Amino acid sequence: MTASTYVNDDRQNHLFQVNREVFTSQEILEKEKQEIFSKAWIYVGHESEIPNKGDFQTRDVAGRPVIFNRDRHGEVRVMLNSCLHRGASLCRHSSGNAKIFTCFYHGWAYRNSGELVNVPGNEDYKAEPAKVYEGLKGPAKVESYRGLYFVNFDEDAESLEDYLGEAKYFIDLVADQSPEGIAILEGTHKYSIKANWKLLVENSVDGYHAKSVHHTYFEMMMDLGATPPMLGEEIVNGVAPSGMGTEFPNGHATLMYPANGLPLATESVKETLAGMRRTAEERFGESYATAMFGLSRNSVFFPSFIVIDLSFGLTLRTMYPISPSETIVTGWQIIPKGVDEEFIKYRVDNALTFWGPAGLATPDDVEALEQAQKAFSTQAEIGWSDISKGMGKQMPAANDELQMRAWWREWNKRMTGEALPSEGKSFVPFQKQTTDA
């Protein structure tokens, strides 16, 4: 397969296709590790997950095990979770608080700021390890935006803020939801799927599939008296009931649509949300508050950091490849700080019943993606997948596929060096009028 055959971006015929080999080839995965996961900004975690000195979380970031922690000086660090001696995992807990990380293999010990401080049998070394090794290694760059920490393994990478560019707006809409800030709820969804990681990226910003794949969820909710999602009637801040897609440089993209209902919300939950909206109106003006609470938004930040803000839940998700046909997925819930227990319970219930690996939405998505992956064995006969919906439209709707095309063009650029022009559908609607955040 030659590089130029990964995508077919035929502007004249409004046809966009992706070669199915990109979902099955080991060679392409190896190139993705090099060109994408070692050079793009990769999400690690949120500051609220490590509030105190010594707090840590361990996680795999695009295949690399890391310790995400706050050291004894209060500084946030990301260090590779591999002992300098002979490589064992230094920290084997998923989270906790530690001043020292001691390797279980031979006992080398490191401060939570990375320095090697104890080597058992040190007297046997002519060259003292603590003097030879500077300390635990980290990625070339660690930067944060609104409390979200990202790493980059490329020393020459542009700054995180430049990389996110205008798409930062969709992070602001989340981070500004409470004057006290936002926090990740303790507890994580972690599961693997037997499908290529790019299929779940597409699915995360795909408004087209909702009605068909998730119809049982919508029917059940409506039977229980909920407002049907994605059936708004009014234009909200210029966004029609059919919603809209938007694209940004560097492969970031969002789809937005008038906020879906609040399935099964109690009066107290509705009042909490209304109160948050009133506070946002006072702080930032009505238009921005409407963008925040009147629109639902699914965003992808290239390559695979997803922020989905529906009125009944706010989720972050990452997906990284294990092999061409297996992906590890992690999902977190965000809560605006200062909300009461009932609101948190409502969000947790929705997270479990909708997004959870045993919820009513995720298994349906996973089924579709795993079936697609299986069927890619027919790639020699069928060859290409189609992502053309809404191409050439003046105003792409939420159930069009602009978001995915924008993402694929960035993927293609990083993999081949070939820069395909965007469709010019970048749109940031409603700036805040004041900034006190």
Distances (CA, A) of 430 to 174, 235, 276, 367, 436: 14, 14, 18, 37, 16
Q: Report the partner that residue 215 touches, choosing among ligand FES, Fe ion, none (CB closer than 5 to 8 A by kind).
A: none
Q: Comparing C-alpha atoms, which of 240, 232, 234, 237 is closest to residue 260?
A: 232
Spatial separation of the C-alpha atoms in residues 45 and 188, rounded to whole Å: 12
Q: Report the partner that residue 120 touches, choosing among ligand FES, Fe ion, none (CB closer than 5 to 8 A by kind).
A: none
Q: Comparing C-alpha atoms, which of 260, 283, 262 is closest to residue 272?
A: 262
Which is closer to ligand FES, CB of 122 or CB of 433?
A: 122
Which is closer to ligand FES, CB of 53 or CB of 111?
A: 111
Which is closer to ligand FES, CB of 98 or CB of 352?
A: 98
Which is closer to ligand FES, CB of 82 or CB of 298?
A: 82
Interacting residues of 62 by C-beta distance below 8 A, sequence separation 6+: 33, 37, 42, 320
CB of residue 401 vs ligand FES: minimum separation in angstroms? 48
CB of residue 203 vs Fe ion: minimum separation in angstroms? 6
CB of residue 217 vs Fe ion: minimum separation in angstroms? 9
Q: Report the partner that residue 365 touches, choosing among ligand FES, Fe ion, none (CB closer than 5 to 8 A by kind).
A: Fe ion
Which is closer to ligand FES, CB of 85 or CB of 270?
A: 85
Spatial separation of the C-alpha atoms in residues 262 and 224, rounded to whole Å: 12
SS3 299: strand
Output phi, psi for 118, to 5 deg.
Answer: -150, 130
Which is closer to Fe ion, CB of 365 or CB of 400?
A: 365
CB of residue 117 vs ligand FES: minimum separation in angstroms? 13
Q: Report 317-376 residues binding Fe ion (CB under 5 A).
A: 365
Q: How many residues does the chain have?
A: 437
Footprint on this chain of ligand FES (rule: CB under 6 A)? 83, 85-88, 103, 105-108
Q: Which residue blocks in 187-308 are alpha helix, DSSP H? A: 197-204, 210-213, 215-223, 267-284, 286-293
The token pair that represents 28 in the structure block: 């392409």
Tokens 């004041």 identify what position? 434
The enclosing H or E element of 319 equals: strand 313-323
Judged by CB under 5 A, does residue 202 bind Fe ion? no
CB of residue 198 vs Fe ion: minimum separation in angstroms? 15
The enclosing H or E element of 33 equals: helix 26-35
Which is closer to Fe ion, CB of 28 or CB of 253?
A: 253
Judged by CB under 5 A, does residue 32 bind Fe ion? no
Alpha-carbon radius of gyration of the chain: 23
Cβ-contact 50, 70 below 8 angstroms: yes
Q: Report the partner that residue 150 touches, choosing among Fe ion, ligand FES, none (CB closer than 5 to 8 A by kind).
A: none
CB of residue 134 vs ligand FES: minimum separation in angstroms? 16
CB of residue 104 vs ligand FES: minimum separation in angstroms? 8
Binding stretches for Fe ion (CB under 5 A): 365
